[in-house]
Amino acid sequence: MIDLEVPRRLRPLVSQTHQVAVNMLRPISRTYDRAEHAYPTELDLLASMVDGLADSGASSGAGAAGVRRDGGAGGRGGGVRNGANLASVLSILEMCWGDVGLLLSMPRQGLGNSAIASVADEEQLRRFAGVWASMAITEPGTGSDSASITTTAVRDGDEYVLNGEKIYVTAGERSDAVVVWATLDRSLGRAAIKSFVVPKGTPGLRVERLERKLGIRASDTATLVLQDCRVPAENLLGSPEIDTKQGFAGAMATFDNTRPLVAAMAVGCARAALDLTRDLLEQAGVVVDHDVPPLAQSAAAARFLALESDWEGAYLLTLQAAWLADNRRPNSLEASMAKAKAGRVGSAVTLGCVELAGTLGYGEGELLEKWARDSKILDIFEGTQQIQLLIVARRVLGLTSAQLR
């Protein structure tokens, strides 16, 4: 049976990560927001600490790279399991309480690492251990519909030749490798889409440009071009066979892992805004009392309580999606529900807090305006709000993508 309290064995991880957010990320948050594209060198030490904890077994799942397919039944006669997925969600939430852009800039914690964890075989997991991998899905003519990818991968002996263009690649310049989604045969549709690990420095792969953005400015967002880019055949993640019966399921397993992580980013950023706004309201003489009905409190307090209750729903959905993954239960519906709810709540809460704080919220003296800018992308990447709601509708109604578009 699911219990959405933070498991006792993960509480030290949550506490440690929160301290990192307080003492390492918050103090440099504004600095790297203003210095867009400058690499936060302070993160190298932090990444080494995370690696050390993971290697020692003291802290599994300290970030995106921690999402692994563990052995064991997990909920099927083996008892309830709180594993790497839940640990990753909780630690990412705390890190994004500190700064979303800095979390996205963490070495070896890229979204591509979750793609590797989701699809790679055991040999590939060992070979790519310790690699910082970004993920390249979106193309100039292909946004939310990942199944319409046009980047091609053609087999040539022991290599695949990749051609195409990818945009909005998070950590696309800084990462060690890029997980590129490409099609083996466009005539076979979504079933032919596979992912390839392309190491940086591979001839034919180049960074075309870096984007200037509304938020998450500490994180580099790149456009990549692949021109006759050759990668070893063994860098195709998972099976090279095209299974038309399975369709897009293999590739979508990546999203089942990464969408709860992005939901956790939104939940963490929104929590930061709520915590600061509560303090600012108290300084202004506005007391928020959870034991008194909202209608019996000031308008500001009632609005704050409404925002907080909305946040609670997003938080619980995010934990549920991660818990299901840890216990080997299907979580595609719950992952999309968490991403949709948290993405919307992230924007609604951070903007609501800006309004409640008035001039303090709108100025750069506090981080509220920054969090409002940062949170918007979390409702967009890894599948937009509209796409998530479409996926949820298909799952609930039992309809295919062809039946409900």
> Per residue in 380-389, pLDDT tens?
998 899 999 9
State yes or no: pLDDT of 44 exceeds 90: yes
Judged against a pLDDT cut of 70, whether residue 236 lies above it is answered with yes
**Residue in the block written with tokens 């369709």:** 247
CATH number, domain of 214, equals: 2.40.110.10
Residues 393 and 253 in one domain: yes
Rounded Cα–Cα distance for residues 360 and 374 (Å): 17
Q: Are residues 225 and 114 in the same domain?
A: no
Across residues 260-269, what is the average pLDDT?
96
What integer is the mean pLDDT of 44-65? Answer: 63
Per-residue pLDDT, averaged over 364-381, amounts to 97
Per-residue model confidence (pLDDT) at position 151? 96
Same domain, 220 and 255: no
Q: Is residue 3 part of a domain?
A: no
Question: Residue 243 domain-assigned?
Answer: no
Inter-residue contact 349 to 368 (CB < 8 Å): no
What is the C-alpha separation between 198 and 205, in angstroms, rounded?
A: 8
* Residue 361 domain-assigned (yes or no): yes
For the chain, give the mean pLDDT: 90
Q: Respond yes or no: is residue 36 known to be catalytic.
A: no
Mean pLDDT computed over 32-46: 94
- Residues 46 and 100 grouped into a single domain: yes
- CATH number where 367 lies: 1.20.140.10
Pair (378, 260) in one structural domain: yes
Q: What Å distances lie between residue 342 and 47, 146, 266, 337, CA to CA?
A: 26, 21, 6, 8
Structure-model confidence comparison of residues 223 and 143, the more confident one: 223
How do residues 21-31 score in pLDDT, each as one tens digit? Answer: 999 999 999 99
Q: Kindly state whether residues 135 and 113 are assigned to the same domain.
A: no
Does some domain include residue 240?
no
97-150 per-position pLDDT tens digit: 999 999 999 998 888 988 898 889 999 999 999 899 999 999 998 877 777 899
388 and 255 in a single domain? The answer is: yes
Are both 23 and 144 inside the same structural domain?
Answer: no
pLDDT average, residue stretch 91-102:
97
Confidence at 169, pLDDT banded by 50, 70, 90: very high
Give the residue numbers spanning the domain of 280.
Answer: 249-397
Q: Is residue 176 part of a domain?
A: yes
pLDDT of residue 55: 59
Active-site position among 139, 334, 369, 382? 382
Segment 71-88, tens digit of pLDDT: 444 444 456 777 888 999
Shared domain check, 380 and 268: yes
What would the two tokens of residue 245 be?
A: 């019966």
Contact 170, 135 (CB under 8 A): yes
Query: Which of these three, 124, 150, 168, is where a domain ends?
Result: 124
Query: What pLDDT, on a 0 to 100 scale, did the predictor assign at position 206?
Result: 97
> Does the pLDDT of residue 58 top 70, yes or no?
no
pLDDT of residue 230: 98
| Residue among 98, 392, 391 at smallest CA distance from 216 | 98
Identify whether residues 328 and 375 lie together within a single domain: yes
Of 107, 404, 119, 79, whose CA–CA distance to 256 is shortest?
A: 119
Domain final residue pick, 124, 155, 170: 124
Q: What are phi and psi of 57, to 5 degrees?
A: 80, 5
Residue 64: inside a domain, yes or no? yes
Asked if 383 and 261 sit in the same domain, the reply is: yes
- Is 274 part of a structural domain of the chain? yes
* 12, 197 Cβ separation under 8 angstroms: no
113, 64 in Cβ contact below 8 A? yes
Q: How many structural domains comprise the chain?
A: 3
Domain end (from 235, 270, 290): 235
CATH number (domain holding residue 109): 1.10.540
For the segment 292-305, the average pLDDT, to the nearest whole number, is 97
Q: Does residue 135 share a domain with residue 120?
A: no
Q: Does 402 fall in a domain?
A: no
Measured in Å, how far apart are the chain's first and last C-alpha atoms? 35
Task: Answer whether 353's CB lies under 8 Å from 274's CB.
Answer: yes
Res. 65 pLDDT band, cuts 50 70 90: very low
